[in-house]
Structure 1
Amino acid sequence: MVAVVVTAQPPGILIPSNSHCDVGKFKICKNLVHVCPKFCGPSGGCTTECQSCKPICNDGSFPPPESDNSPPITHSPPPPSSTPTPTTTHSPSPPSSTPTPSTHSPPKGSGKKKSKCKNKNSECYNVEYVCPEACPGGCQVDCKSCKPVCNCDKPGAVCQDPRFIGADGITFYFHGKKDREFCLVSDTNLHINGHFIGKRDPTMTRDFTWVESIGILFNNHKMFLGAKKTAAWDDLNDRLAITFDGEPIFLQDREGASWQPEYSSQAVSITRIASSANSVVVEVEGNFRITVKVVPITEEDSRVHNYGITKDDCFAHLDLSFKFLSLSGDVDGVLGRTYASDYVSKVNMSKAMPVVGGEKEFITSSLFAADCSASRFVGEQKKVSSGLGMEFPSLSCGGDHIEGGAGVVCKR
């Protein structure tokens, strides 16, 4: 850069003169006076290089023209040197490495599942995250940490060959029995039963079981959510059946489609999430929120666990994630008791697959029956007349015997 010598060395003074930079864009260095170095030649004087803001002797070694041109020369080599790098031997390697992951990612499929944070107060609201490959049942975004978390790895989850995660974060298994109903949660104004389906392995003393449907009682309402019997699984084919107070609910095939009842003492909503089929969030204001997803038993699952699944039935079932908003300290049920104020876990953590019992304590007579020995449910039955014309304990719902599996029948 151009610099100006302010004065020449006066006669009789051994100390060289000074100089400064007068280029406007170098604000820090402009007009800053520099004393020329003592080792400058007998001609004396120096110029200030604006870029480095240092005085340089005018003895021929660093004349102003060369100092002006030196910065462009020193900076020009790096771009050429960096330019050839990608064009030489390194450019072929990125392409060769790029196809490798792309060929592996499609078969896994799980990496394609995505989720968003739905909390408008979060920094990552509506930001889409790819679910980890370790989440076969999809994931949810933790809006506090802004990270995707497997649906089945959070407290309140009920998934797979029923694997429960209690309020304390401890994982345990409750197998129950196939074709029977068990109380999952029971509190004064919330009761949830699960209908178990399964297959018997001749080499074992128990059934392989999964939760096919749930019946929910709250206030004076009843809600059914269940997986329809399915042979060949298709992610785009909705296999989730829903009823509210005995009436079938149909949601549009799009994310965000929702339904609300015309009458209810609490705000109730059912909303599609993540995709156009098989996933919904059910929320009752101030009471509970449940994420429900219909999933199949895949051929790989059957091979690994020896389930013996055949092509005529993929045993579609529910993966569930519960969040409770107003449980009492006296709550009970297979999952509910882990939220009780006096709960102490008896799970044997030394076992790879800790199983808890209690079939006799939690078994019920039907999907909407609050008659298990652990029942705490009261609801609003005493406050409401028999205008609905039905009692919860005698109501049974199912969809397996409907032609095409397109609906749900509830019988008293």
Structure 2
Amino acid sequence: MFLSINSMKQVGGLQWPCSRLTEFKFVHESPPPPTPTESPPTQSRPPPPTPSLPPRATPSLTTPPSPPPPPTWYPSPPSKPKKLKCKNKNYPKCYTSEHACPASCPGQCEVDCVSCKPVCKCDMPGAVCQDPRFIGADGITFYFHGKKDKDFCLVSDNNLHINGHFIGKRNKNMGRDFTWVQSIGVLFDNHKLQISAQKTSSWDDAIDRISLTYDGKSIILPETEGAKWEYSRTSITRTQDTNDVVVEVKNLFKITAKVVPITKEESRVHNYGTFSEDCFAHLDLKFKFFSLSNEVDGVLGQTYRNDYVSKVKMGVLMPVMGGDSKFMSTNSFAIDCFVAKFKGSAHVAGSSLSLGLPSLMCQSGLNGQGVICKR
């Protein structure tokens, strides 16, 4: 339906100006479809919770163990066993044959050319090692602790005397000191030989800590395996670049000496205590004697007598030899212990040939020591 307004007309009681043409258009449209009555929105309810059952306990026997956490440290690999050769030409079947040290002593062994087998130095008769642990000539192992900062007679015979200087640490829980042999003083003929381990706070195998003197003069050996010093019938030879030597006096003795420290593991196992300023470097020793008499005495020397019977209590964990007082000396070269036998070169092999006889000159022209002039 259209309504046109061209002039002022009164429509429904209202006047509209005619000057403006206003056209209203009424469009008859079909009524919109009835709006369906909207029902209130239905809230979606969550599904009812499924009741959770507690996990069934699994017997511990069938529970697989949880894997251990990865280690934060790794143990150092075991040291490779040292390999040695028999160097004694008197045993041709074994000479130059190579052998590896046993696992119990990977770095301290020697080849026994007689049996052609490697043996630990500290497990052979004549050994003095560790705390200090002795193995006598009879093969019986015993301990002689002594006292720290004191000297004790190890071997005393007519022409050989060996004192050991002990260092150590007081053990508050025991009636004795922890002790080790720091040096030895050797008297033979008219000579004095000393082998010592130098004090050090930390240990390095590459640094030489062995000290040698002969008649009061220092012996300097090149730090090379096989380096050798000789004088008269005495020889000193390095068996490793550092800290290991063999001292031999022909027809009298042979001493193998190695400087070793107290390690942290040893301290833990034996409850030695902390070693922050001193690792107690000491000597592991192996003695071999060629001409001892049956009067020999000393902590180790007495075991070489034919009539020696061990006095230590066998069957115990640590058989200990006492008698500190009769073996004690005043210094490394003193022969004032109760069991001293040393008389010097005047009694070599029971001979009197070395007595100091006067030197004379006769009219006949003969002269010299022991000459008797006749009228």
* Both structures adopt the same fold (TM-score exceeding 0.5): yes
2:77 aligned counterpart, secondary structure: helix
Q: Does 1:159 align with 2:129?
A: yes
Q: 1:215 aligned to 145, 166, 185, which one? A: 185
CA contact (8 A) 1:220 1:381 kept: no
Aligned to 2:273: 308
Separation (CA, whole Å) in 2 of partners of 1:157 and 1:374: 21
Separation (CA, whole Å) in 1 of partners of 2:152 and 2:195: 15
Q: 1:286 aligned to 251, 256, 266, which one? A: 251
Aligned to 1:127: 97
Could you say what the CA RMSD is over the residues aligned between the two structures, in angstroms? 1.7
Per-residue deviation, 1:310: 1.3
Per-residue deviation, 1:299: 0.5
Per-residue deviation, 1:130: 1.8
Aligned pairs for 1:353-368 (under 5 A) are 353-368=318-333
With over 3 angstroms needed to count, the CA separation of the structure-2 counterparts of 1:181 and 1:381, relative to structure 1, is farther
Residue 228 of structure 2 aligns with an amino acid whose one-letter code is S
Q: Does 1:118 align with 2:83?
A: no
CA offsets per residue over residues 232-266 of structure 1, 9 Å max, x none? 111111100000001100111111110012xx4xx
Aligned to 1:269: 235
CA contact (8 A) 1:140 1:149 kept: yes
Separation (CA, whole Å) in 2 of partners of 1:372 and 1:384: 25
Aligned to 1:401: none
Is 112-121 or 218-227 further displaced after alignment?
112-121
With over 3 angstroms needed to count, the CA separation of the structure-2 counterparts of 1:254 and 1:336, relative to structure 1, is same
Aligned to 1:186: 156
Per-residue deviation, 1:115: 2.4
Q: 2:342 aligned to 355, 370, 377, which one? A: 377
Per-residue deviation, 1:137: 5.7
Higher helix share: 1
Aligned to 2:44: none
Calculate percent identity across the aligned residue pairs.
63
2:345 aligned counterpart, secondary structure: coil
Per-residue deviation, 1:312: 1.7
1:380 aligned counterpart, secondary structure: helix
Per-residue deviation, 1:129: 2.0
Residue 225 of structure 2 aligns with an amino acid whose one-letter code is E
Per-residue deviation, 1:117: 1.4
Aligned to 2:57: none
Separation (CA, whole Å) in 2 of partners of 1:144 and 1:297: 33
Aligned pairs for 1:321-400 (under 5 A) are 321-380=286-345
CA offsets per residue over residues 158-213 of structure 1, 9 Å max, x none? 00001000000000000000000000000000000000000011111100000000
Separation (CA, whole Å) in 1 of partners of 2:254 and 2:344: 17
Aligned to 1:16: none
CA offsets per residue over residues 279-310 of structure 1, 9 Å max, x none? 11100000000100000101100000011141
| TM-score where L is the length of structure 1 | 0.65
Q: How many residues align?
A: 276
CA contact (8 A) 1:297 1:309 kept: no
Residue 90 of structure 2 aligns with an amino acid whose one-letter code is N
Is 199-208 or 137-146 further displaced after alignment?
137-146
1:308 aligned counterpart, secondary structure: coil
1:112 aligned counterpart, secondary structure: coil
CA contact (8 A) 1:330 1:341 kept: no
Separation (CA, whole Å) in 2 of partners of 1:204 and 1:143: 42
Aligned to 2:49: none
Separation (CA, whole Å) in 1 of partners of 2:321 and 2:107: 23
Separation (CA, whole Å) in 1 of partners of 2:323 and 2:191: 27
Per-residue deviation, 1:358: 0.9
2:156 aligned counterpart, secondary structure: strand
Separation (CA, whole Å) in 2 of partners of 1:241 and 1:359: 27
Aligned to 2:363: none
Please list every run of 5 or more consecutive structure 1 residues that lacks an aligned counterpart in the other structure.
1-102, 386-412
CA contact (8 A) 2:193 2:214 kept: yes
Per-residue deviation, 1:340: 1.1
Please list every run of 5 or more consecutive structure 2 residues that lacks an aligned counterpart in the other structure.
1-73, 348-353, 357-375
Separation (CA, whole Å) in 1 of partners of 2:97 and 2:260: 25
1:307 aligned counterpart, secondary structure: coil
CA contact (8 A) 1:137 1:319 kept: no
Per-residue deviation, 1:384: 8.2
Residue 329 of structure 1 aligns with an amino acid whose one-letter code is N
Aligned to 1:227: 197
Separation (CA, whole Å) in 2 of partners of 1:355 and 1:376: 24
Aligned to 1:247: 217
| TM-score where L is the length of structure 2 | 0.71
Separation (CA, whole Å) in 1 of partners of 2:216 and 2:96: 34
Per-residue deviation, 1:380: 2.1
Separation (CA, whole Å) in 2 of partners of 1:362 and 1:163: 16
Per-residue deviation, 1:136: 5.7
